[in-house]
């Protein structure tokens, strides 16, 4: 860690936002290639024992950061019910759970995760208390004792996105006033739901000047920025939508989000890797106490990191969240931007090989040694990036000239 990383702060990261209980039945690998082959009306699907674990951004990214070796405090809202007790006691084993509030007005959120081997996940989700989470549930004294504040999934949290995101903007405005670096992740809303109809461009214009690092997936940002275009492509596409999103759209979305005010925009793209674009040096200089060690080396960058090869995918649950954890962990450890990006890809690679979100993840030091050994096979990027891009053989990633 950088020399001053532990001075004047009790925590490295406050992880706030969406929290739920995940119930994941175990599926045998029956050779199915699509979820429709498994979920047929009128059939009995035999499964194995269910894995019960905490889920959502607070859990997945927060516990990921803890495993990496950082000091984490959790901040969320649960109901006063049995699920709430399970969630709170589970997180208390990984970090400080004092920031988790309780309510009598809603039940604890839960998800049924359908994740057969080799098939993208399907969720049955009750948002529960997450819909009530607002600025009043943020303990700003705890946040003030942190280097970085990360909030996840406001796109599916009613109180945060209503009224043009007033509560969400208020949270990030107050956190930035404390001198804390801010980070935001999104979630993919159901295209048929209320939240998918929210005008996120209006919210982003007010919000992103207070967001230092914006770390969604390409699908999440695509739906927020171009909802009708997203729905049209989704209706025409069978299988993996990312395959049909042109590389220029990554650049366009990343550039627009930077123009709205964030300092770093990272778009996760699953097996297509991770696209990263950063703002000007003046913007990065306002990151606060979680700033890069050499902010100028992070400015005006455009990178695309391929994914690492995975022979067999056990589950993709939490892959994006732990990728974020590794990227933020690298940032707070003072790593160069390329190493942070590769650490994010590595964390996703390790996650895919285990059924749960965390058992494959290593400490930040161990991740660094894995990156240094250069034995991990890089997946061939099966898309054209266009003019200006070149492959860095030493770093094993793509760079684009300004």
Q: Check pLDDT > 50 for residue 4.
A: no
DSSP state of 217: B
What is the arithmetic mean of pLDDT over 272-292? 96
Listed in sequence order, the DSSP H helices in 116-263 are 140-144, 158-177, 200-207, 218-225, 227-236, 247-260
**Full DSSP string of 33-81:** -SGGGT--TT-----EEEEEEEESHHHHHHHHHHHHT--EEEEEEEESS
Residue 73, in any domain of the structure:
yes
Residue 217: pLDDT band with limits 50, 70, 90: very high
Residue 5, in any domain of the structure:
no
Q: Which residue has the higher pLDDT, 95 or 280?
A: 280
Q: Which pLDDT value is given to residue 43? A: 84
The Cα–Cα gap between 310 and 61 comes to 21
- Residue 238: count of CB within 10 angstroms of its CB: 8
**pTM of the predicted model, to two decimals?**
0.91
- Residue 317: count of CB within 10 angstroms of its CB: 25
Q: Which residue has the higher pLDDT, 265 or 351?
A: 265
Q: Which pLDDT value is given to residue 5? A: 43
Q: Which of 88, 90, 109, 110 is nearest to 99 (CA)?
A: 88
Q: Check pLDDT > 70 for residue 3.
A: no
What are the pLDDT digits (tens) for 335-350?
999 999 999 999 998 8
Residue 33, in any domain of the structure:
no
The Cα–Cα gap between 114 and 126 comes to 14
Residue 392, in any domain of the structure:
yes
- Residue 23: count of CB within 10 angstroms of its CB: 16
Supply 3's token pair. Answer: 């020399």
CB contact at 8 A, 112 and 317:
no
Cross-strand pairs, 101: 77
Q: Which pLDDT value is given to residue 238? A: 74
- Residue 370: count of CB within 10 angstroms of its CB: 18
What are the pLDDT digits (tens) for 27-75?
877 666 677 777 788 888 888 998 888 999 999 999 999 999 999 999 9
Percent of the chain exceeding pLDDT 90 equals 70
What is the maximum span of the chain, computed from C-alpha positions, in angstroms?
61
What is the arithmetic mean of pLDDT over 132-150? 97
Q: Which pLDDT value is given to residue 33? A: 62
- Residue 224: count of CB within 10 angstroms of its CB: 23
Supply 65's token pair. Answer: 């950061």
Q: Which pLDDT value is given to residue 1? A: 39
Domain range enclosing 222: 11-17+57-107+132-400
Percent of the chain exceeding pLDDT 70 equals 95
Residue 222, in any domain of the structure:
yes
- CATH number for the domain that contains residue 152: 3.40.1190.20
Strand order of the β-sheet with 122-126 is: 48-55, 20-26, 110-114, 122-126
What is the arithmetic mean of pLDDT over 234-261? 92
Q: Which pLDDT value is given to residue 2? A: 42
Which range among 23-27, 184-188, 233-237 has the greatest average pLDDT?
A: 184-188
Residue 250: pLDDT band with limits 50, 70, 90: very high
**What's the Cα-to-Cα distance from 280 to each of 174, 285, 302, rounded to whole Å?**
23, 9, 12
The Cα–Cα gap between 321 and 327 comes to 10
Q: Which pLDDT value is given to residue 32? A: 63
Number of separate domains in the chain: 1
What is the arithmetic mean of pLDDT over 313-322? 80
Residue 48, in any domain of the structure:
no
Residue 199, in any domain of the structure:
yes
What is the arithmetic mean of pLDDT over 1-26? 78
Residue 115, in any domain of the structure:
no
């Amino acid at each position: 860690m950088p020399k001053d990383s532990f001075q004047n702060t009790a925590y490295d990261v406050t992880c706030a936002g969406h929290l739920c209980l995940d119930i994941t039945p175990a599926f045998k690998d029956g050779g199915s290639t699509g979820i429709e082959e498994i979920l047929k009306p009128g059939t009995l699907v035999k499964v194995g024992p269910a894995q019960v674990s905490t889920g959502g951004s607070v859990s997945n990214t927060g516990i990921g950061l803890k495993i990496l070796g950082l000091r984490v405090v959790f901040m969320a809202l649960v109901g006063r019910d049995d699920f709430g007790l399970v969630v709170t006691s589970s997180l208390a084993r990984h970090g400080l759970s004092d920031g988790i509030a309780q309510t009598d007005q809603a039940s604890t959120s839960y998800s049924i995760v359908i994740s057969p081997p080799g098939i993208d996940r399907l969720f049955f989700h009750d948002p529960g208390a997450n819909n009530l989470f607002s600025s009043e549930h943020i303990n700003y004294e705890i946040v003030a004792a942190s280097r970085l504040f990360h909030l996840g999934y406001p796109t599916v949290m009613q109180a945060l996105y209503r009224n043009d995101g007033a509560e969400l903007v208020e949270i990030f405005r107050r956190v930035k006033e404390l001198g804390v670096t801010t980070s935001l992740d999104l979630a993919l809303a159901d295209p048929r739901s209320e939240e998918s109809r929210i005008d996120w461009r209006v919210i982003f214009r007010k919000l992103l000047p207070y967001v230092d690092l914006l770390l969604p997936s390409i699908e999440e940002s695509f739906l927020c920025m171009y909802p009708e275009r997203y729905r049209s492509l989704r209706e025409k596409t069978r299988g993996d939508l990312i395959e049909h999103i042109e590389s220029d759209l990554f650049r366009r979305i990343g550039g627009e989000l930077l123009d709205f005010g964030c300092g770093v925009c990272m778009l996760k793209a699953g097996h297509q890797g991770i696209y990263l674009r950063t703002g000007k040096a003046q913007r990065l200089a306002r990151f606060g106490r979680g700033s890069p060690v050499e902010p100028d080396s992070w400015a005006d960058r455009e990178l695309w990191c391929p994914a690492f090869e995975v022979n067999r995918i056990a589950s993709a649950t939490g892959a994006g969240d732990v990728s974020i954890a590794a990227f933020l962990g690298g940032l707070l450890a003072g790593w160069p931007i390329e190493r942070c990006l590769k650490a994010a890809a590595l964390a996703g690679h390790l996650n895919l090989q285990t059924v749960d979100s965390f058992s494959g993840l290593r400490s930040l030091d161990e991740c660094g040694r894995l990156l240094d050994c250069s034995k991990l096979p890089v997946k061939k990027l099966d898309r054209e990036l266009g003019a200006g891009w070149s492959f860095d053989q030493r770093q094993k990633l793509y760079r684009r000239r300004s």
